[in-house]
Structure 1
Amino acid sequence: MATDKTDKKKSGAERVAIFMMSLGEECAAELLRHMGPKEVQKIGTAMASLERVTRSDIDAVLKEFSELIQDQTALGIGADDYVRNVLRSALGDEKAAGLIDRILIGRNSRGLEALKWLDPRAIAEMIRHEHPQIVAIVLSHLDPDQSAETLSYLPERMQSDIILRIATLDGVQPAALQELDEILESQLSGKSTAKSSMIGGVQTAANILNFMEGTRESSIMESVRQVDEDLSERIQELMFVFANLVDVDDRGIQTLLREVNTETLVLALKGADEELRDKIFKNMSKRAAEMLREDLETKGPVRVSDVEAAQKEILAVARRLADSGQIVLGGKGGEAML
C-alpha cells in the first residue's frame, strides 16, 4: 500500500498494464485472449486508471520483464504427469487432488469455464430451476467470490441447502461432469439440442461463505448448524476471516498492504481489534502508520455493511496473493495455506 503519493509503487496489475500498453493495441489484445476473466478485468481496470506514466515507469517495467525472460528456459513442462507430480510433491495428495482436477480436467470444460465470464446474476438465472445438486456442482466449479455472489441471487430458501450439498460433495464422475458441461455449452451457445473429479467439499463451502455478505453468511451457517452441527463446525474452522490476518507473518502483511488502497484499509480497520491494528501499523513505515492512525481517528461513524465490504475486499486480495504463492494464510483451522 502506498500512503505517501510521492513514493507510490506500482501494483502488479499496473505493471502488467504498462507493459501491455507499451506493446500496442494488437499485441495487447492477443495477450488478453489467453487470459481468464479475472485477469482481463483486473488488467483492464488498471489500464483505465493509469495516470501520469513516466518514461522511468516504462523503463522499469520493461527491465523487469527482460530479467524475468532471461531466467526462463525452453523446457517443455506442460505434461500432465509433470503437473501432477509437482503439485503432489508441493501440496500433498489430498490438497493437490482438487487443484489437479481444476487444471487438467477443467481445461476441457468449455461450458463450465464459460460461466466464469458471465455476470453472477445471469448465472443464477440460468441455474435457479436446476436440481440443487446440479447447482452445487456448478458453484463448486466457479471461483469462490463469483459463487458467493451467484448464491446471493438465488432464493434464500435454497442457499443453506446448496451450501450443505457443496460441503458434502465427495466428487463427480467424469462422465456426469462431461454431460453437464455439454448441456451448459449448448445453452451458452444458443443451441437446443476411474476416479471422481474432486469438486466441492467442506473447504469449497467455506471459501464461498467467506465471500458472502455478513448477515447472509451468518444466516446460512445457522441453517447448516440446525441440520448438521458437526459439519457447520468443520466449515467454520476452515473459514478465513478478517481477524485471522493477525496470524499472517510480517512479510505477508507487507505484501498485502502494497495491494490495498488507504480508504479500504481505513474502513476495514474500523471494525478490527487492537491486536490486528497494531500488526498493520508495525508493518508500515512510521510516517504511513501515523497517517493511518490519523485517518482512523478522524473518520466518522460508518455503516457496518461498509466495514464488512471493505474487509471482504481485503480478504479477496489476501486469497489471490495466497493462491499465487506470495503469502501464506493461517486460518482458524490451522491450515498452512489456502
Structure 2
Amino acid sequence: MHLTGPQKAAVLLLTLADRHSEKLFARLHEDEIKDVSIAMATLGAVDASVVETICKEFCENLGATGKLIGSYETTERMLLKTLPPDRVAQIMEEIRGPAGRTMWDKLGNVSESVLANYLKNEYPQTVAVVLSKVRPDHAARVLALLPEGFAMEVVMRMLRMETVQKEALEGVERTLKMEFMSNLARSHRQDSHEVMADIFNNLDRAAEGRIMAALEERNRESAERIRALMFTFDDLIRLDGPGVQLLLRSVDKEKLALALKGASDTLKEMFFRNLSERAAKMLKDDIAALGAVRLRDVDEAQAIMVATAKDLAATGQILLDDGQEAMIA
C-alpha cells in the first residue's frame, strides 16, 4: 500500500494519544493542516502492518495491532480539540467540497452544469473573471450551458478584459468561497440512502434484485427508502412527449432497440407514440431483428438510456422533479 507524505502523517496522528496529536496540530502551518486533514478524512481502513511500518519510519514503537479508520467525523473531532469551531467548520467544508489548493483549482473540479447554474445569476463581468481563471476546456463547457444572450455578454467582457485588479479578484474569490463553495460543500453531505440509491442504479438487474431482496429481510424500511430514491428505466414512463422525443434523439439507435427489447409493452408504446409512423415502424423492425439477446446486454443498454436522461436533467434540458414527475424544460 503506497501512501503519500500527508497520508503517513495522518496515520501517525491517528495512532497518537490526543494530547500528543493536539500539540502537533498546533505547530502545523494552515496549509499543512489542510493537507493532513484531507488525507485523514479520505484515508479509509489502514492495515495494521502498514501502521507498524509507518510508526517505525517515525521511530515510534507503538506495536499497533488493529486497524485505523480515517473519516470526516474523526477528523472533525480531532480538529475541534485544537482549533476554534468556526475554523474547523471552514476546514471541513473545504475538505468536503471539490479538491484543489486554490479557489480556481476547486472551481475546475466542479461540474460544469452546477457551476453554470450558479453563474447565470451573477453579473456578466463576474462570470468573465471566473471563466478567465479556470481551465479553457472547463470554461468552454460552462459557457456552452449559459443562456445564449447572457453568454454573449460574458464573451464581450472577456474580450475587453484587461488585467484584473488584485482587490477585485480577491472580492470575487471571497464571494465564491462564502456563497458558492460553502453551499456546495454542505450539499455534498449526502444521506447514506441517497448514496446507496446511486449505487443500486448502477447494478445489473440480477445483482440489484438479489441484494435488494436480502436488504428487505434485514431492514425493510431502508430498502423502501432506497427504492423510492432510485431512478430506473421504468421511471422513464414519467417523461412527457417532448422529453421522450429529446431522449430518443440523444440515444444511439442500436442501444435504443436493445433497451426496448426488454421493456414493458406500456413503455414501448410510449416511445413508439413519440416517433413518426415511419420511424416507429423502423424501430419495431430493429427490435424484432435482434432475436434472442442476453439480459446483461439489455440491462447495459437500459442503463445508458437512464444515464442519458440524468445527463439531460443535469443540464436543464429535461426536469426530473423529485422523482415524482418528469417534463421538458
Task: Give the structure with higher Rg (CA).
Answer: 2
Q: TM-score, normalised by structure 2?
A: 0.46
Q: TM-score, normalised by structure 1?
A: 0.45
Q: Which is strand-richer, 1 or 2?
A: 2
Higher relative contact order (CA 8 A, sep 6+): 1
